[in-house]
Amino acid sequence: MKEFIIATNNSHKVAEIERILSPLGFTAVTAKERGIDLGDVVEDGDTFAANAYIKAKHAFDLCHQPVIADDSGLCVDALGGRPGVYSARYGGHDASPLVKISMLLDEMKNVPDDRRSAHFTCAVCCILDEDTVIEVEGRCEGMISHRMSGDGGFGYDPVFVVDGRSFATLTAEEKDRYSHRGSALRKLRDALEASLS
């Protein structure tokens, strides 16, 4: 069984990665679970892919074993693609998910239904060793609702709607099927199967 260090302390992300990669016999653990402090990483890339690589390289240099990092965010067409790479910092570093969602809905309050399109993007970077870097990206198209619904998921899930349902109303399995992270991780799974076979 191959163990990957996941360069995040977000338990939701670790669970998603574990669900999709475990059928290949991979386990996902955080650096913290292995007693490694990743510290603060400056995510100053101007793309999701750049930030995913920054996080993965930082973790690999500290852990010296295979790592997976991702960077993801919400891009709203009516807002010119914002919050984009600043999704986690939208409203300030310490803003709660509820504050971020409230800000978003406030910015969108006068936007009509036919202009509320948005997408989630997830870039994943996997570093297996000094010479092997796998980078993939997934995307999920949807709409921003006028109000929150559902109590599952995390982040912007309560206002991101696909096929009439918010991400926060989907089961874990349904979300894996639709989501940007699920799409990216399936691509990573296929790439890992090819590279490790």
Catalytic residues: 71
In sequence order, the 6+-apart residues with CB closer than 8 A to the CB of 162 are 140, 141, 142, 143, 178
Let me know: does 63 contact 127? Beta carbons within 8 Å. no
Distances (CA, A) of 136 to 36, 109, 164, 171: 26, 34, 27, 24
Phi, psi of 136 (to 5 degrees): -135, 165
